[in-house]
Amino acid sequence: MIEAHAIPQHRVAQALAGLASLDPRGILTDEGVASIGKGEGQQCLRVVRWDGYSVAGKAVMVIGAENGVAWVDAAAGEGAGMSEAIHQVASAWARQHGCKEIGFLTARRGLVAKLKPAGYAVTGWVMKAKVQ
């Protein structure tokens, strides 16, 4: 069973501390991470996946809608099956808000492979080079 509940933005900021170092674009700052979830229309959620009576995994996520796309702006957690749990919560949220697609950025190659069976596709590349 998967549960999702709204939580205060400061709880998400605490859980996402250090996320800036994982930004594939290299432009996210610690101050930017602290402000994730403060944007208009963004919602901060706590996601818990239960295995019977035990917590199998937990995460926090920030999601918002823009031009018909539900963007998962940030997510972090631990435990088995949390990528799928976050996908299920994002799908339900997207349907409730009239979105036709779900999008997110990631630096994790394994997440790309894991979510392809759920219908996700890579739609771009981030390219960087050192200035010579």
Per-residue model confidence as pLDDT tens digits over 97-115 = 999 999 988 877 888 888 8
For residue 39, name the pLDDT band (cuts at 50, 70, 90). confident
Q: Cβ–Cβ contacts within 10 Å for residue 23, how many? A: 15
Per-residue model confidence as pLDDT tens digits over 13-29 = 888 777 777 766 676 77
Q: Cβ–Cβ contacts within 10 Å for residue 42, how many? A: 18
7 CA to centre of own chain: 15
For residue 95, name the pLDDT band (cuts at 50, 70, 90). very high
Contact 47, 58 (CB under 8 A): yes
Q: What does the block give as tokens for 63? A: 């999601």
Structural domains in the chain? 2-118 (3.40.630.30)
pTM: 0.80
Alpha helices, H only, the chain: 9-15, 30-35, 82-96, 109-115
- Pairing type for strands 101-103 and 69-79 reads parallel
Query: 60 forms bridges with which residues in the sheet?
Result: 46, 76
- Closest to 104 (Cα-Cα) out of 24, 41, 33: 24
Q: What does the block give as tokens for 127? A: 């390219």
For residue 70, name the pLDDT band (cuts at 50, 70, 90). very high
